[in-house]
Amino acid sequence: MVRLGDMASTVRSKNAGPDCITFDIIFRDAQTYERVKASGALSAERICRLYGLEPERLVHFGAFDPALAFKFTIRRARPSGSPGETDVMGSQMYPPLLDLELPASVLQQSPPAA
Amino acid sequence: MTSGGDKLNANGFRMSRLGQREPPIPVGLRPVKLLTPTGHLGFTPIEPESFWKGVAQRPDAIIADSGSCDIGPHPLGADEAASPRTWQEHDLELMLTASRRLGVPMIIGSASDTGTDRGVREFAAIIRELARKHRLPRFRLATIYSSQDLHDLKRRVETGAWTAGLDGRPPLTVEDLEQTDNAVAVMGVEPILEALRQGADVIIAGRACDPAIFAAPLRLAGYDPAVAYFAGKLLECASFCAEPFAGKESILGTVDGDGIVLEPMSSYQRCTPASVAGHAMYERANPLREYVPGGYVDMSDCVYDAVDERRTRVRGPRWVPGERYAVKLEGAGKVGERALMIVGIRDPNTIARLDDAIAWSRRKVRERFAGEQYQVFYHVYGKNGVMGELEPIREIRSHEVCVVVEGVAPTRAEAMELTNLAGRNFLYARIPGLKGTAGAAAFMSDEVLPARAAYRWTLNHVIAVDDPLELFRFQFEEVG
């Protein structure tokens, strides 16, 4: 097993408007990105389990090829900056992703072209 | 493609000379260079070196956004700036002196963090002071106001205006508006374009959707909304579209008939296809759509190509018109007065039974404030103080924790008392097995800290309008 934090070059979270937080996981090279994508290890279900979210709070999950990235967006429990707020910009919500385990297959080199 | 002999039109754009040999692009689609030094003017000062390098490229306009809803509902609700005035002056001074030297428009959106009328007035006052200080030749200042009259919005809702809630909120109600202290409408490109058409040299706009301030000079030059808004999306956070990560460094965007080229003005940075594509999806729920008043930019077919090591060209945004022209409304309303108290806990037994200690504190507050309107929150740093309910780690091994007690009540006195009661009761928490019978908590200082009032976002909606300008008001004046 390998950690997502060791494979991705950028893992970040940030507000997307007052009601949502969006997460970006960006890879440095296309091979790693494609292997992670092919592994199916990053999925909406897994994100919901990691963050303890009801599926309806995950409003977007998908891969974004031009940036070699995965992106997902969650709805906040209450709007940003309401009383009780812990992270008004949503910028420290990503760290649990760093420890997400990926199968060792994401490390394998692509087979040489036939 | 332009030369020093080209004439400048009223807005400072270089005009083509007839008969000159030009590439086969339609008249009006002259290349336009936009310089942006910061993604949030005033938030921290602009880096001057890369800015002046950008000015040396002779941009056709100098543009920056100055607001955000990232800073929470307090600035809008209380109508206060979130940035120090000295930093706002610093940034405006750089941009104003450069724009007047080049004779090209300067455009500021979402003035002074909130984009309220207060912010526009304050920025306009700074511009006038700077014009005096630098003895600038006469120029035309446009101010565009976007604060909303809550009675007018209520009338619109009551008379059946089409509205929709964003991000899962229901449509706008009169109750939402009654809970709102301040509201702004977020302008699209049209009001800024109107100010340019009326000859503005400097535009201080109220709340504006970030890409619109960049789209305006591009629309004026004849570019379609897709390219205009998409260029704005790429430029609105300045150096965030480049790598390595850096703030407050200038970016030059050049738009021509073949897309948008991004170039960092700092030698520390590069605009690569990865950095630009990575930024295209930043701060938005959906990476393929940029919603603006009147439609959205579809980025599904965008292609990002390296021009060289430091520049990237983007092609292929598509404009998808909406069913109606709707403008976003942002609003914030006061919840109550607020206070904080900092409580430290070191006893491993108390840390292990922290939930019991919090329950004790809650109970004592409930006993005294039963029936009153209040809220109390316990931020436990060392456990889930950052992530709250989203923290997946449940078992902690911290040898100490910090509890920040946050109390909210209708008056300042009640908020202070409530927070004091909640904080001090950690000292008296009844925890089985407690050995330190002189007190179960450490106070950094036996002190309740008065905090800013509590606000919440009451409006995150869109409302349909007949005319893109109808929620905004203009003033023009000659300065200098």
B318 found inside a domain? yes
- Report CB contact under 8 Å: B166, A81: no
8 Å CB contact between A79 and B457: yes
pLDDT in tens, A46-93: 999 999 999 999 999 999 998 999 999 999 999 999 999 999 999 999
Q: Which domain holds residue B68?
A: 7-146+187-325+465-479
Judged by CB atoms closer than 8 Å, whether chains meet at B167 and A88 is answered as no
B373 and B432 share a domain?
yes
| Record: contact B387-A93, CB cut-off 8 A | yes
Q: Which two tokens stand for residue B284?
A: 């938005």
Q: Does some domain include residue B160? A: no
Q: Which residues of B touch A17 (CB under 8 A)?
A: 69, 166-167, 285, 460
Element (H, E) at A8: strand A8-15
Residues of chain B positioned with their CB less than 8 A from the CB of A77: 388-389
- Note whether B317 and B352 are same-domain residues: no
Going by the DSSP 8-state scheme, the letter that residue B31 receives in this structure is -
Cα torsion B351, A5, B233, A64: sign: negative
The answer to whether residue B312 sits within a structural domain is: yes
pLDDT of residue B459: 98
- Is beta strand B473-479 parallel, antiparallel or unpaired with respect to B401-409? unpaired
Question: Is there a single domain that holds both residue B31 and residue B129?
Answer: yes
Whether residue B362 sits in one domain with residue B266: no
What angle is formed at CA B90 by the lines to CA B85 and CA B93, rounded to 5 degrees? 120
Which of B283, B286, B392 is nearest residue A50 as measured by Cβ atoms?
A: B392
Shared domain check, B128 and B277:
yes
- Residue B171 in domain: no
In angstroms, what separates the C-alpha of B86 from chain A's closest C-alpha? Answer: 24
Q: Which residue of chain A has the CA closest to B384? A: A86
CB atoms within 10 A of CB B431: 17
Residue B42: the pLDDT is 95
B129 found inside a domain:
yes
Q: Where are the beta strands (DSSP E) in B235-311?
A: 251-256, 259-264, 289-292, 295-298, 303-306
> Could you tell me if B312 and B416 lie in one domain?
no
Note the pLDDT of residue B7: 40
Judged by CB atoms closer than 8 Å, whether chains meet at A17 and B285 is answered as: yes
Q: Are residues B141 and B91 in the same domain?
A: yes
Same domain? For B234 and B294 the reply is yes
Q: Count CB atoms within 10 A of the CB of residue B352.
A: 12
What total of structural domains would you count in chain B? 2
Give the model's pLDDT for residue B170: 97
Same domain, B315 and B341: no
Which domains are seen in chain A, by residue range?
2-78+86-105 (3.30.70)
pTM: 0.91
Residue at B174 is within a domain: no
Burial class for B467, CB neighbours closer than 10 Å (0-12, 13-18, 19+): exposed
Shared domain for B270 and B301, answered yes or no, is: yes
Gap between the Cα atoms of B207 and B116, Å rounded: 7
Which residues of chain B register pLDDT less than 70?
Answer: 1-28
Contact residues, chain B, for A25 at CB < 8 Å: none
Which pLDDT score, from 0 to 100, does residue B360 have?
97
Residues B35, B94: one domain? yes
Residue B288 belongs to a domain: yes
pLDDT of residue B25: 47
Tokens of B219: 């629309």
pLDDT at A111: 58
Whether residue B357 sits in one domain with residue B213: no
pLDDT of residue B302: 94
- The answer to whether the Cα torsion of B136, B138, B140, B146 is positive or negative is positive
Q: Where does B342-472 have alpha helices with state H? A: 348-352, 354-369, 412-424
CATH assignment at residue B366: 3.30.70
Closest Cα in chain A, distance from residue B419 (Å): 13
CB contacts, 8 Å: B453 with chain A: none
- Interface A:B, Cβ pairs < 8 A: 140
Q: Which of B305, B313, B457 to mutate to test the interface with A (most CBs of A within 10 A)?
A: B457
In a domain, B158, yes or no: no
Q: Do A19 and B456 touch (CB under 8 A)?
A: no
Please list every residue in chain B whose beta carbon sits closer than 8 Å to the beta carbon of residue A62.
287
| Interatomic CA distance for residues B339 and B110, integer angstroms | 30
